[in-house]
Amino acid sequence: MLMFRAMRYSGLPRSVLLLRFASSIVSRKHDYDLVVLGGGSGGLACAKEAVEYGARVLCFDYVKPTPAGTKWGVGGTCVNVGCIPKKLMHQASLLGEAVHEAVAYGWNVNDRDIKPNWKKLIQSVQNHIKSVNWVTRVDLRDKQVEYVNSMGAFVDAHTIEYRTKQGERKQLSAENVVIAVGGRPRYPLIPGAIEFGITSDDIFSYETEPGRTLVVGAGYVGLECACFLKGLGYEPTVMVRSIVLRGFDRQMSELLAAMMTDRGIPFLNTCIPTAVQRQANGSLLVKYLNTTTQKEESGVFDTVLWAIGRKGLTEDLNLVAAGVKTVNDKIAVDHTEATNVPHIYAVGDIIYGRPELTPVAILSGRLLARRLFAGSKQLMDYTDVATTVFTPLEYSCVGMSEEMAIEKLGAENIEVFHGYYKPTEFFIPQKSVRYCYLKAVAEVSGDQKILGLHYMGPVAGEVIQGFAAALKSGLTVKTLLNTVGIHPTTAEEFTRLSITKRSGRDPTPASCCS
């Protein structure tokens, strides 16, 4: 740790430090010190970090096309079919809203019948992605990470086999292997699902306007897609099997669903799809079962988007040959990210039971490389990872949900501070402040250590990030209320929380400000 710190912070010439670390890279009996399977966020971070410490690293990356034929370049889910395009679509949708707001603020812009040019938007998004792919490739070359655009699979615990572009079979051996193959969206097992449905892998490069879209699944991927489609003027409907945003705070999740309903996104609750058929006019007839009423119902859509979950890509790895055990389609790892085979590790979405988030994959990949090649002892800390759902009013949280806090500490031992608030900018365009809400879940006694923070409103991720650092620093309610706000922001509302749920007092603000 000290050595690592010295490297990172002292700014000594790299060569000096590499000499120091050379001892930790002993083996030359394998072709590579490290082979990374998967060139996504976690894999690339791990590979690049390992090279920094003198390891010989090779990274495999291969994208199987989707049933609809979509494929993409290096960089994994986040860059190609995840956070980046999603955030850009979200931004496009917010900007449509901004045009209307601009009118309210006095700009002489014609906001009647504004429409997005789907093709232009897709083009812009894809151009950005292509440029990121390119920069990533250049970066790998600069850092001397060998990159092979092929699917690597185990032959034995130290040997990987792959096919070259020419179809030639090749093998190479590795001292250490990091599995970072990530996941892909699932399709439901119903007629027409694969033929006629698309997933988040396709939507960001979809040639045709999505139109009336059935989004099946109410996890964050489904809700985000439904929301930006709505914001872009299309007509999404969300089909929910049981609950929205499983795993998130229930109250916040319900609030978010209500906000979406308010914005004109219909929810088909307790429904499961049973079949998709193409009609003569090209539109899709979706049959579904309402599990509450047990009634068969149907609807006609232009697009059906499956967002029912993601599966880990263990199948093509021939893990059996290496002796690596799987849990369903994921891989279980210990606190050092090692699988049951000690020199084979896994990071990112392929890991069983950890948050599937880009920055988690990056940090754990990077820390793993430092432990392997730089003598570091630092382990990845998976607790209190903040996350955001990019719906029109965004939802972001860090730490425990209210339910989890109750489960772990007991309802009598927690205090929940909450409040609705009114963003200053919302008044002039008369935007709804109905769902602008935040809460802090804390211990009831002592300085009231904060267990979780939840925020629904504009730029939620930007708001919560700093509080995530605060939580890691041991934030208490006492400190929070002693923190002076930045006025006028929405983040300052956290410093003004004063009403507890236990008090039963009305959490709506009496006045507009101060």
Partner 1 sequence: MSLTLWNSRFCVTLVRRQHATIFTSSASKTIAANSLHHTFSNNYQQQQHRNLTTMKPTNTAVAEKGTSRSSRISADGSTSATGINVPPFNHPHCDRQAMYQQPVRKIKTLRGSYDYDLVVIGGGSGGLACAKEAVANGARVACLDYVKPTPIGTKWGVGGTCVNVGCIPKKLMHQASLLGEAVHEAAAYGWNVDDKIKPDWKKLVSSVQNHIKSVNWVTRVDLRDKKVEYINGLGSFVDPHTLSAKLKNGDRTITAQTFVIAVGGRPRYPNIPGAVEYGITSDDLFSLDREPGKTLVVGAGYIGLECAGFLKGLGYEPTVMVRSIVLRGFDQQMANLVAASMEERGIPFLRRTVPLSVEKQPDGRLLVKYECTETGEIGSDVFDTVLWAVGRKGLVDDLNLPNAGVLAHNDKIQVDCDEATNVPHIYAVGDIIHGKPELTPVAVLAGRLLARRLYADSDLRMDYADVATTVFTPLEYACVGLSEEDAVKAHGADEIEVFHGYYKPTEFFIPQKSVRYCYVKAVAQRHGDQRVYGLHYLGPVAGEVIQGFAAALKSGLTIPTLMNTVGIHPTTAEEFTRLSITKRSGLDPTPASCCS
Ranges within 123-142 binding partner 1 (CB under 8 A): 124-125, 128, 131-132, 135-136, 139, 142
Q: Which residues contact 271 (CB under 8 A, 6 or more apart)?
A: 239, 240, 241, 288, 289, 290, 291, 297
Closest CB to partner 1 among 28 and 112?
Answer: 112
79 and 136 Cβ atoms separated by less than 8 Å: yes
CB of 42 to partner 1, least distance (A): 10
37 and 179 Cβ atoms separated by less than 8 Å: yes
514 part of the interface to partner 1, by CB under 8 A? yes
Closest CB to partner 1 among 267 and 435?
Answer: 435
The response to whether 219 counts as a known ligand-binding position is yes
Strand partners, 169: 163
CB of 260 to partner 1, least distance (A): 21
Closest CB to partner 1 among 48 and 158?
Answer: 48
108 part of the interface to partner 1, by CB under 8 A? yes
Cα atoms in the 13 Å half-sphere on the side-chain side of 215:
29
Can you say how many angstroms the Cα of residue 405 is from the centroid of all Cα atoms in its chain?
A: 23
Strand partners, 388: 396
CB of 271 to partner 1, least distance (A): 32
66 and 204 Cβ atoms separated by less than 8 Å: no
Query: Of 401, 494, 500, 507, which one interacts with partner 1 (CB under 8 A)?
Result: 494
Q: Which residues contact 481 (CB under 8 A, 6 or more apart)?
A: 495, 497, 498
Query: Of 6, 99, 300, 411, which one interacts with partner 1 (CB under 8 A)?
Result: 99
CB of 238 to partner 1, least distance (A): 24
Q: Which residues contact 170 (CB under 8 A, 6 or more apart)?
A: 161, 162, 163, 164
209 and 303 Cβ atoms separated by less than 8 Å: no
Closest CB to partner 1 among 158 and 418?
Answer: 418
Strand partners, 351: 331
Each residue 27-46 as x (binds partner 1 by CB under 8 A) or -, in order, gives --------------x--xx-
Taking alpha carbons only, the member of 396, 245, 225 closest to residue 304 is 225
16 part of the interface to partner 1, by CB under 8 A? no
CB of 70 to partner 1, least distance (A): 20
H or E segment and range at residue 21: helix 14-22
Choose the binding region for partner 1 from 154-162, 177-185, 292-300, 465-473 (rule: CB under 8 A): 465-473
Amino acid type, 109 = V
Cα atoms in the 13 Å half-sphere on the side-chain side of 432:
12
Euclidean distance between CA atoms 316 and 38, whole angstroms: 12
Say how many Å lie between the first and final Cα of the chain, rounded: 47
Site size for partner 1, by CB under 8 A? 101
CB of 315 to partner 1, least distance (A): 25
Query: Of 69, 279, 484, 504, which one interacts with partner 1 (CB under 8 A)?
Result: 484
489 part of the interface to partner 1, by CB under 8 A? yes
11 part of the interface to partner 1, by CB under 8 A? yes
Euclidean distance between CA atoms 217 and 203, whole angstroms: 15
The response to whether 220 counts as a known ligand-binding position is yes
Closest CB to partner 1 among 297 and 427?
Answer: 427
The response to whether 470 counts as a known ligand-binding position is no
Ranges within 345-374 binding partner 1 (CB under 8 A): 357-360, 362-363
Closest CB to partner 1 among 309 and 355?
Answer: 355
Query: Of 428, 502, 503, 508, which one interacts with partner 1 (CB under 8 A)?
Result: 428
472 part of the interface to partner 1, by CB under 8 A? yes
What tokens appear for 42 in the block?
């976690």
Catalytic residue check, 487: yes
CB of 469 to partner 1, least distance (A): 4
In sequence order, what DSSP letters do the residues of 231-298 get, joined into one string? HTT-EEEEE-SS-SSTTS-HHHHHHHHHHHHHTT--EETTEEEEEEEE-TTS-EEEEEEETTTTEEEE
Closest CB to partner 1 among 67 and 461?
Answer: 461
Q: What phi, psi does 133 have (nearest 5°)?
A: -55, -45
Each residue 435-464 as x (binds partner 1 by CB under 8 A) or -, in order, gives -----------------------xx-xxxx
Closest CB to partner 1 among 171 and 503?
Answer: 503
Query: Of 19, 22, 411, 469, which one interacts with partner 1 (CB under 8 A)?
Result: 469
CB of 124 to partner 1, least distance (A): 5
Strand partners, 419: 438
78 part of the interface to partner 1, by CB under 8 A? yes
Q: Which residues contact 284 (CB under 8 A, 6 or more apart)?
A: 192, 196, 214, 276, 277, 278, 300, 301, 302, 303, 304
Helix (H, G, I), strand (E, B) or coil at 6: helix
CB of 463 to partner 1, least distance (A): 5
Euclidean distance between CA atoms 210 and 226, whole angstroms: 11
Report CA dihedral (383, 381, 223, 196) to the nearest 10 degrees: -140
Catalytic member of 100, 335, 418, 487: 487
Choose the binding region for partner 1 from 61-69, 95-103, 278-286, 320-328 (rule: CB under 8 A): 95-103
482 part of the interface to partner 1, by CB under 8 A? yes
Cβ neighbourhood burial of 269 (10 Å; 0-12, 13-18, 19+):
middle
Ranges within 376-395 binding partner 1 (CB under 8 A): 378, 381, 385-388
Closest CB to partner 1 among 287 and 478?
Answer: 478
200 part of the interface to partner 1, by CB under 8 A? no
470 part of the interface to partner 1, by CB under 8 A? yes
Omega before 359 within 30 of 0, i.e. cis: no
Report the binding-site residues for FAD: 87, 152, 349
Q: Which residues are catalytic?
A: 487
